């Protein structure tokens, strides 16, 4: 099995130089994130406990179910962030060790000098493992991917939690100020609008696949607005930075692998929160 080929590096020189110097900052950020993230599980428990003991005044199921869903989701995310940053910290520390090893033995792996190996075995090892410098480069890219994934998880989780909180406020706070009937109507309108914004990009892109609909100017304008702004309205604080990471990942990962990853992630998240 031959080693995975190294893709051509088309980055500008300034960006390549910056990336080569960022690994030590990654270690600091990852270590700090691990330290701070260890407080998240207990913080999530404390928030739920405070809500149940001080804010729930009756036995209305709607006031308990949604907070429990938020609690389960945030608890899974808290541990997922800890695991992801720990994995990155260990991988980046290992990468630093391998770089140091290459600095000592600048010729890397000398397959022709391997002891107790036949020529055939040496050749198979060379084809399987390649050069040490190529391995360092692949490991560096993998560390960067894990580091970006950790922040993608954090941004997506924050946006989803904010949406949960908004839904909770619409369902439970508006009836207090507007009255039971009017409050429920207004909250229903708000939630319907929110769900429409969530599914609008999917619906409009489906419409653009139909030639008869795609030719309509109002469909084109609606699709343009939905693709650019619908998700921003739902998650305004994290939409832009989250999408820079997300679009980069999804434009490089093969479609089958992406679908499999999404299915596994959703299944694990659903299983842990249910």
Distance CA 271, CA 68 (A): 15
Question: Closest by alpha carbon to 198, among 233, 174, 228, 222?
Answer: 233
Does pLDDT of 213 surpass 80? yes
Q: Calculate mean pLDDT across residues 150-169.
A: 83
Question: Closest by alpha carbon to 32, among 86, 96, 87?
Answer: 86
Q: What integer pLDDT is reported at residue 274 of this predicted model?
A: 55
Is the model more confident about 58 or about 93? Answer: 93
Distance CA 28, CA 34 (A): 10
Distance CA 91, CA 51 (A): 39
3-state secondary structure of 5: coil
Determine contact, residues 85/151, Cβ cutoff 8 Å. no
Confidence of residue 94 (pLDDT cuts 50, 70, 90): very high
Q: What integer pLDDT is reported at residue 90 of this predicted model?
A: 92
Confidence of residue 61 (pLDDT cuts 50, 70, 90): low
- CA dihedral defined by 231, 235, 236, 241, rounded to 10 degrees? -90
Q: What integer pLDDT is reported at residue 3 of this predicted model?
A: 46
3-state secondary structure of 105: coil
Residue 274 corresponds to which tokens in the numbers above?
A: 């249910």
pLDDT above 70 covers a percentage of the chain that reads 85
Q: What integer pLDDT is reported at residue 1 of this predicted model?
A: 42
Read off the DSSP letter of residue 210: S
Confidence of residue 14 (pLDDT cuts 50, 70, 90): low
Does pLDDT of 221 surpass 90? yes
Q: What is the pTM of this model?
A: 0.74
Is the model more confident about 107 or about 64? Answer: 107
Q: What integer pLDDT is reported at residue 113 of this predicted model?
A: 87
Among 10-14, 67-71, 201-205, the minimum mean pLDDT is found in: 10-14
To which residue do tokens 């397959």 refer? Answer: 111
Q: Please report, for the chain, the start and end positions of each structural domain, with discontinuous segments joined by +.
A: 13-158
Does pLDDT of 41 surpass 80? yes
């Amino acid at each position: 099995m031959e080693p995975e080929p190294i893709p051509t590096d088309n980055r500008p020189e300034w960006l390549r130089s910056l990336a080569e110097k960022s690994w030590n900052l990654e270690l600091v950020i990852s270590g700090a994130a691990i330290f701070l993230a260890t407080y998240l599980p207990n913080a999530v428990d404390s928030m739920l406990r405070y809500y149940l003991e001080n804010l729930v005044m009756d036995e209305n199921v709607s006031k308990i179910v949604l907070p429990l869903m938020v609690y389960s989701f945030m608890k899974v995310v808290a541990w997922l962030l800890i695991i992801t940053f720990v994995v990155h910290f260990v991988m980046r520390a290992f990468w630093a060790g391998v770089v140091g090893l290459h600095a000592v033995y600048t010729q890397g792996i000398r397959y022709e000098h391997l002891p107790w190996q036949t020529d055939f075995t040496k050749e198979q090892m060379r084809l399987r493992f390649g050069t040490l410098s190529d391995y360092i480069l692949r490991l560096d890219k993998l560390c960067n991917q894990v580091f970006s994934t950790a922040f993608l998880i954090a941004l997506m989780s924050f946006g989803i939690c904010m949406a949960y909180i908004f839904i909770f406020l619409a369902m439970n706070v508006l009836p207090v100020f507007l009255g039971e009937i009017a409050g429920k109507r207004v909250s229903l309108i708000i939630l319907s609008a929110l769900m429409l914004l969530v599914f609008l990009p999917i619906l409009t892109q489906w419409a653009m696949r139909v030639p008869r609909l795609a030719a309509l100017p109002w469909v084109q304008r609606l699709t343009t607005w939905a693709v650019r702004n619908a998700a921003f309205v739902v998650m305004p604080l994290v939409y832009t930075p989250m999408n820079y990471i997300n679009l980069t990942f999804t434009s490089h990962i093969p479609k089958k692998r992406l679908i499999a990853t999404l299915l596994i992630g959703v299944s694990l998240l659903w299983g842990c929160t249910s």
